[in-house]
Amino acid sequence: MPDEYRIAAAYIRVSTEDQTELSPASQLVEIRKWAAKNGWIIPDEYVFVDEGISGRKVTGRDAFRHLIGTAKLKPKPFDAILLWKFSRFARNRDDAVFYKSVLRKQLHIEVISISEPIAEGKLGILMEALIEAMDEYYSINLAEEVKRGMEEKHRRGELQSNPSFGYTVQDNVLAPKEPEATYIKEIFRRFCQGEGFYPIAKWLNSIGVRTHRGNLFENRTVEYILRNPVYIGKLRWNPSGITRRDFTDPAIVLTDGKHEPLIDMDTWNIAQSRIAELKSTWKYHGRPLGSNKDWISGLIRCASCGATMIFAKPNYWKCNHYVRGRCKTSQHVSTDLLKEAIIRRLQIDLETSSPIQYEIIRAKDGGEDELNALRTQRDSLAKKLDRLRDAYLAGADTVEEYKTAKESTQAKLADVSTRIQAAEKKSAKLGTPTAMKKSIRSVLKTITSDSTTMEQKSEAAHSIIEYATWDKAQNLLQMHYRLVF
């Protein structure tokens, strides 16, 4: 293919902060027009779009990360990345400099803004740096303006978040929502009369109440409701970020809202006093790393809800969701019984002649990365054959040029395909049932030995057991194996 018909990728990003920018479709149209005039071809598979995402960080920009990952493939898939503006690439100078440096210096891929022509040489470097600085300034300034607007809106008692449980929104003001508002009053009443977070959560779940996100209630959900001042007519906001569960954060700003309170101040004060009293008597029962840890930790799940079984004193295991009020079944079982059941299940599966069900997982050092790279190379060569044909049909290549390039690409494709077949055959051999039973035998030897440490037993058990489900009612343990190689 002649140099004037080069392959390029297009990257498009639109976020809520860019209300005056072109839509993704319009940006792509303009980029394709520019590419056609300047000798570039943009295959559909090399169009990357991030919508509704800020350019200040790479986090969350899945299409951008996919673009960078694709650019690193060998052979090089394209020679340039075309943008509507440099601000689409990044609004953070550190990110812009880093990724442009990787693309240009290491991968030899240009980053081109079609609406911001850059001169060649030193002057072009200066112009691009100025554009990047202006983009970052715009983003920072916009964030400050938005924050000031939010502060003013908060002072006026206006809503700027999703409604809390018990409320809906009418004309940008919170309004009581039934029957949730009644449940809120009942939560406070029960708590003030002596019920705990856990019994209240269990009661709500038993009558079918769900959070706004459709989740079951937990003890911490109930605590969050009891500590939320929205129910006494206040609005809580943290200018420095998300409060999460730090209710004493000094950055929190409270203001009078315009909505109807669901709880009176006397009830609120009683609830807060009781929470403070409970907190003062609670003790942390967590254990330091390595102490009291058993080799079955993290392996057992509740057959009713799928949650992990956790250790409970003195020597038992319970469903984690049951402890938090989200599951109706405790699955209460002793440590010794669980260990005996696991060991017996391993012995039965080792001795049986029936096939064992297990999932094959290839470790990174087991050749999977190399196999994936070969498959990616195969796909790239197949697409190159299609592009060679398109270029020939469009008159870009002569018959001889097309024939030579096609034969060379087909030879590379045949070689890669042969290597893939050999790698797949090797992987299949490693994942045989014989290998699974060999692993079970090794794990049994480790976990039943008195000379191995708890860490060694834990590592051995987790190496082949994905998880096991315990059903107390049926006295049944089901094992889910994995084979890592």
Q: Is 360 a residue whose pLDDT tops 60?
A: no
The whole model's pTM is what?
0.41
Whole-angstrom Cα distance, residue 126 to residue 119? 9
Whole-angstrom Cα distance, residue 158 to residue 139? 25
Q: Which residue has the tokens 């992987």?
A: 427
Residues 230-279: pLDDT tens digits?
899 888 766 665 655 566 666 666 778 888 999 999 999 999 988 888 77
pLDDT in the model for residue 82: 92
pLDDT in the model for residue 374: 77
Residues 167-182: pLDDT tens digits?
998 888 889 999 999 9
Lowest mean pLDDT among 47-56, 142-151, 403-412: 142-151
Q: Is 85 a residue whose pLDDT tops 60?
A: yes
pLDDT in the model for residue 264: 93
Tokens of 42: 């943009």
Across the range 348-365, mean pLDDT stands at 63
pLDDT in the model for residue 9: 92
Cis check: omega of the bond before 355, within 30 degrees of 0: no
Query: Which of 183, 163, 185 has the alpha carbon at shortest distance from 175?
Result: 163
Across the range 458-476, mean pLDDT stands at 86
Which range in 114-128, 211-225, 274-288 is most confidently predicted, on average pLDDT?
211-225
Lowest mean pLDDT among 74-78, 106-110, 377-381: 377-381
Residues 297-308: pLDDT tens digits?
888 889 888 888
Across the range 126-133, mean pLDDT stands at 61
The answer to whether 482 and 339 are in contact (CB under 8 A) is no
Strand partners, 40: 6
pLDDT in the model for residue 307: 86
pLDDT in the model for residue 363: 44
Higher local confidence (pLDDT), 108 or 130: 108
Q: Which fold has domain 6-143?
A: Rossmann fold (3.40.50)
Whole-angstrom Cα distance, residue 259 to residue 235? 9
Lowest mean pLDDT among 269-273, 325-329, 432-436: 432-436
Residues 47-60: pLDDT tens digits?
998 876 654 555 66
Lowest mean pLDDT among 138-142, 180-184, 371-375: 138-142
**386 pLDDT band (50/70/90 cuts)?**
confident
pLDDT in the model for residue 328: 82
Whole-angstrom Cα distance, residue 474 to residue 305? 15
Query: Which of 355, 362, 485, 348 has the alpha carbon at shortest distance from 433?
Result: 355
Q: Is 12 a residue whose pLDDT tops 70?
A: yes
Whole-angstrom Cα distance, residue 407 to residue 84? 37
Higher local confidence (pLDDT), 329 or 55: 329
Tokens of 349: 């599966």
**440 pLDDT band (50/70/90 cuts)?**
confident
pLDDT in the model for residue 287: 41
pLDDT in the model for residue 222: 93
pLDDT in the model for residue 289: 36
C-alpha to C-alpha distances, 423 to 4, 69, 372, 376, 380, nearest whole angstrom: 38, 23, 10, 14, 19
Helical ranges in 362-453 per DSSP H: 368-393, 399-430, 433-447
Q: What is the 3-state secondary structure (H, E, C) of 51-99?
A: ECCCCCCCCCCHHHHHHHHHHCCCCCCCCEEEECCHHHHCCCHHHHHHH
Q: Is 285 a residue whose pLDDT tops 50?
A: no
Across the range 375-389, mean pLDDT stands at 81
Domain 167-281 has CATH 3.40.50.720: no
Q: Is 142 a residue whose pLDDT tops 50?
A: no
**155 pLDDT band (50/70/90 cuts)?**
low
pLDDT in the model for residue 436: 77
| Residue extents of the structural domains in the chain | 6-143, 167-281, 290-485
pLDDT in the model for residue 154: 47
Q: Is 396 a residue whose pLDDT tops 70?
A: no
Whole-angstrom Cα distance, residue 12 to residue 364? 32
H or E segment to which residue 311 belongs = strand 309-312
**290 pLDDT band (50/70/90 cuts)?**
very low
Whole-angstrom Cα distance, residue 32 to residue 10? 9
**Dihedral angle of Cα 334, 336, 341, 346, to the nearest 10 degrees:** 140
